Structure 1
Amino acid sequence: MVKQWLAAGAAALSLGFTATGAFAQTTTVPGEQVGLAVGAPLPEGVYAIDTFTYQRADQPGAADLGVNIPVLVWSTPWKVLGARFEAVVAPPTLFSFSRTGGRDISANVGTFIGGIFAWDLGNNVGVSYLAGVYLNDLNAGRFGGLNQLASNTYRQGWAISYTGDGWNLTANLTYNFYDVPARFEGPGLIPAFYGARFPSDALNLDLTATKKFGNFEFGAIGYGTTNLRNNAFRAFGPSCVGLSPAICGSVGPSGGGRFALGGLIGYDFGKFSVQAYVARDVATSARQTINIGGVPVVTNRADYRTEGWFRVIAPLYTVAAAPAPEPAPIIRKY
Structure 2
Amino acid sequence: MGKYWLAAGAAALSLGVSATASYAQTTTVPGEQVGLAVGAPLPEGIYAIDTFTFRSPDGPNATSTDTAVNVPVLVWSTPWKVLGARFEAVVAPPTIFTFGRAAGARDTSINVGTFVGGIFAWDLGNNVGVSYLAGVYLNELNGGRGAGIPLLASNTYRQGFAISYTGDGWNVTANLTYNFYDVPARFGGPNGIPGFYGSQYPTDALNLDLTATKKFGKFEIGAIGYGTTNLPNRGPLAFGSPCAGNFATCGSVVPGGGGRFALGGLVGYDFGKFSVQAWVARDVATSVRQVSPATGLPTNREAYSTEGWFRVIAPLYTVAAAPEPPIPAPLVRKY
Q: What interval of TM-score do these two structures reach, taking the shorter chain for normalisation?
A: over 0.9
Q: Which residue of structure 2 lines up, in the alignment, with residue 39 of structure 1?
A: 39
User: CA 1:160/1:154 → structure 2, altered by over 3 Å: closer, same or farther?
Assistant: same
Offset at 1:189?
Answer: 4.1
Instruction: Give the length in aligned residue pairs.
Output: 326
Structure 2 counterpart of 1:52, one-letter code: F
Structure 1 counterpart of 2:253, one-letter code: C
Give aligned-pair identity as a percent: 71
Q: Secondary structure at 2:8's aligned position in 1?
A: helix
Q: Which residue of structure 2 lines up, in the alignment, with residue 279 of structure 1?
A: 281
CA distance in 1 between partners of 2:246 and 2:171 (Å): 45
- Choose the corresponding residue for 1:229, options 227, 232, 241: 232
Q: Which residue of structure 1 lines up, in the alignment, with residue 138 of structure 2?
A: 135
User: CA 1:240/1:209 → structure 2, altered by over 3 Å: closer, same or farther?
Assistant: farther
Q: Secondary structure at 1:291's aligned position in 2?
A: coil
CA distance in 1 between partners of 2:136 and 2:57 (Å): 28
8 Å contact from structure 1 (residues 139, 188) kept in 2: no
User: CA 1:104/1:243 → structure 2, altered by over 3 Å: closer, same or farther?
Assistant: farther
TM-score by length of 2: 0.92
Structure 1 counterpart of 2:263, one-letter code: L
Moved more, 23-32 or 216-225: 23-32
CA distance in 1 between partners of 2:188 and 2:79 (Å): 40
Offset at 1:325?
Answer: 1.9
Q: Which residue of structure 1 lines up, in the alignment, with residue 254 of structure 2?
A: 249
Q: Which residue of structure 2 lines up, in the alignment, with residue 260 of structure 1?
A: 262
8 Å contact from structure 1 (residues 141, 193) kept in 2: no
Alignment RMSD (CA, Å): 2.0
Alignment of 1:49-128 (within 5 A): 49-61=49-61, 62-100=64-102, 101-128=104-131
8 Å contact from structure 1 (residues 24, 200) kept in 2: no
Structure 1 counterpart of 2:169, one-letter code: G
Moved more, 6-15 or 210-219: 6-15
- Choose the corresponding residue for 2:156, options 153, 167, 182: 153
Offset at 1:59?
Answer: 1.8
CA distance in 1 between partners of 2:113 and 2:177 (Å): 16
- Choose the corresponding residue for 1:184, options 176, 182, 187: 187
Offset at 1:192?
Answer: 4.3
Offset at 1:16?
Answer: 2.1
Structure 1 counterpart of 2:69, one-letter code: V
Note the alpha carbon deviations across 1:217-267, whole angstroms, 9 max, x for none. 0000000000112432588972553478x93112xxx51110000000000
8 Å contact from structure 2 (residues 190, 196) kept in 1: no
User: CA 1:47/1:143 → structure 2, altered by over 3 Å: closer, same or farther?
Assistant: same
8 Å contact from structure 2 (residues 236, 244) kept in 1: no
CA distance in 2 between partners of 1:269 and 1:317 (Å): 16
TM-score by length of 1: 0.92
8 Å contact from structure 1 (residues 23, 227) kept in 2: no
Moved more, 203-212 or 283-292: 283-292
CA distance in 2 between partners of 1:184 and 1:38 (Å): 36
Residue 16 (structure 1) aligned with residue 17 (structure 2): yes
CA distance in 2 between partners of 1:165 and 1:243 (Å): 58
Note the alpha carbon deviations across 1:69-109, whole angstroms, 9 max, x for none. 00000000000000000000010001011222321100111
8 Å contact from structure 2 (residues 276, 311) kept in 1: yes
CA distance in 2 between partners of 1:25 and 1:285 (Å): 12
Note the alpha carbon deviations across 1:13-58, whole angstroms, 9 max, x for none. 32221523x6531000000100000000000000000000000111
Note the alpha carbon deviations across 1:291-325, whole angstroms, 9 max, x for none. 33xx3232110001110000000000000011122
8 Å contact from structure 2 (residues 88, 120) kept in 1: yes
CA distance in 2 between partners of 1:236 and 1:183 (Å): 21
Q: Secondary structure at 1:332's aligned position in 2?
A: coil
Q: Secondary structure at 2:252's aligned position in 1?
A: helix
Q: Secondary structure at 1:6's aligned position in 2?
A: helix
Q: Secondary structure at 2:4's aligned position in 1?
A: helix
User: CA 1:69/1:23 → structure 2, altered by over 3 Å: closer, same or farther?
Assistant: closer
CA distance in 2 between partners of 1:184 and 1:35 (Å): 38
Structure 1 counterpart of 2:164, one-letter code: S
User: CA 1:240/1:224 → structure 2, altered by over 3 Å: closer, same or farther?
Assistant: farther
Note the alpha carbon deviations across 1:141-172, whole angstroms, 9 max, x for none. 3432x322210000000000000000000000
Q: Secondary structure at 2:293's aligned position in 1?
A: strand
8 Å contact from structure 2 (residues 115, 136) kept in 1: yes
CA distance in 1 between partners of 2:189 and 2:144 (Å): 9
Offset at 1:179?
Answer: 1.0
